[in-house]
Amino acid sequence: MWQRHLDRAGVREPRLRRDYTEQRRAVRRFATAEYAAARLLLPAALLPHVVAAVAFMHDTDDRIDRGAPDVRAAALVEWGGLVRKAFAEGDSALPVLRCLVSTAERHPSVRAHVDAFLRGCEREVAWRTIADEEQLERYVREYSLPALMLTACLLAPAGAPAREAFTDGCHRLIHAMQRIDFLEDLAEDVRGGRTGVPADAVARHGADLTRPDAALGRLVQEQADRAATGLAAAAALAGVVDPPYRPFIRALVGVQSLRLDAVRRAGATLATHGSGPPAPAAALLLLRETAARAASARSVISHDR
């Protein structure tokens, strides 16, 4: 099955096929649920290129996510040089970059998003706290959205108005996702010395991010409400993309809703441990969208006859 995906994606050269297969194994390992959604709900020709983009994003994050800010910044400079060299030469010693270059050749929009993502990583390695909503928006616009667009650009519709609506929907979606991320990872982030929950909101509630009390519970619910507003607006994305991509977008937004529900249930206990969507509910969501995709395909075949 995977070999057929590579065929349909236009990946013919033996070394590249091995490279993409290696990235697929990595993505399945660190992003199991996301890979399952892409495997079940995206067209076969697109899956290897989504894998390449996700693998690159993860590799970048892994390289710049350790050590003091100056160490992380130096790692980013080195990595950016390797990425630029790979694009300039059309090759690399690193399989993840060979796949990225190959995908960008077939989907030219990826290249600009790689550059935007690497620029955004400069903010990612430097931040320690998020002061307020304005700073959170800047973080999302400069880092989180470019990170999402590495893969989302592969699903973008043609035509300027539709693409503008698509990017706006992606912005709303990733803003909500980032807020949920910061809540899910609250305990871990506090231990690491940086937190993404806006500091002015923490102060307004009088919350201690290490103490699971009523003040923290109110803060979590407020932030969850803000995320819910963004998710509701992002649901319109499914109507903007081409029909083959709609089940995947619906599933993506649906999984964020499950994550948000889990955050609400956890409440103040996020001070001591993280949260995540219940696996059975996520699996049911994927199965439902897979069935809808199959029914849509049968309808198209029947209509063509």
Tens digit of each residue's pLDDT (9 = 90 or more) over 176-214: 999 999 999 999 999 988 899 999 999 999 999 999 999
Count CA atoms closer than 13 A to 173's CA, side-chain side.
Answer: 25
pLDDT of amino acid 293: 87
CATH of the domain at 258: 1.10.600.10
Judgement on whether residues 58 and 16 belong to the same structural domain of the protein: yes
Same domain, 105 and 217: no
CA 292 to chain CA centroid, nearest Å: 23
Q: Work out how many domains the chain is built from and give that number.
A: 2
User: Does residue 141 belong to any structural domain of this protein?
Assistant: no
Whether 152 is in a domain gets the answer: no
State the residue range of the domain holding 253: 158-305
Query: For position 34, what pLDDT does the model report?
Result: 86
Residue 300: pLDDT band (50, 70, 90) is: very low
Q: Which of 69, 102, 126 is a domain's end point?
A: 126
- pTM as predicted: 0.92
Give the 3-state DSSP-derived string for 128-167, with helices as H, strands as E and coil as C: CECCCHHHHHHHHHHHHHHHHHHHHHHHCCCCHHHHHHHH
Band of residue 301 on the pLDDT scale cut at 50, 70, 90: very low
Q: What is the mean pLDDT of residues 272-298?
A: 88
pLDDT (0 to 100) of residue 66: 83
The position carrying tokens 């033996």 is 14
Is residue 164 located within the same domain as residue 248?
yes
* Angstrom distances, CA of residue 165 to CA of 57, 115, 169, 172: 24, 22, 6, 11
For residues 225 and 93, membership in a common domain is answered with: no
Grade residue 72 by pLDDT with cuts at 50, 70 and 90.
very high
Would you say residue 137 lies in a domain?
no
Top pLDDT among 6 and 34 is at 6
- Integer Cα distance of 131 and 107 in angstroms: 37
Residue 297 confidence class, pLDDT cut points 50, 70, 90: low
Query: Is residue 44's pLDDT more than 90?
Result: yes
**5 contacts: CB under 8 Å, gap ≥ 6:** 44, 45, 47, 48
Three-class DSSP category at 205: helix
Q: Measured between alpha carbons, how far is 178 from 173 in angstroms, rounded to an integer?
A: 9
Indicate whether 36 and 110 sit together in one domain. Answer: yes
The stretch 236-249 carries a mean pLDDT of: 95
Mean pLDDT of the 246-257 span = 95
> 118 and 47, same structural domain?
yes
Query: Looking at the structure, do residues 230 and 304 belong to the same domain, yes or no?
Result: yes
What's the confidence (pLDDT) of residue 299?
Answer: 53
pLDDT exceeding 70 applies to what percent of the chain?
Answer: 97
My answer on whether 2 and 82 are in the same domain is yes
Q: Return the sign of the alpha-carbon dihedral for residues 19, 25, 29, 34.
A: positive
The pLDDT value given to residue 65: 87
Question: Region 270-276: what's the mean pLDDT?
Answer: 94
Q: Are residues 107 and 202 in the same domain?
A: no
The answer to whether 153 and 108 have CB atoms below 8 angstroms apart is: no
Question: Residue 67 — pLDDT band, cuts 50, 70, 90?
Answer: confident
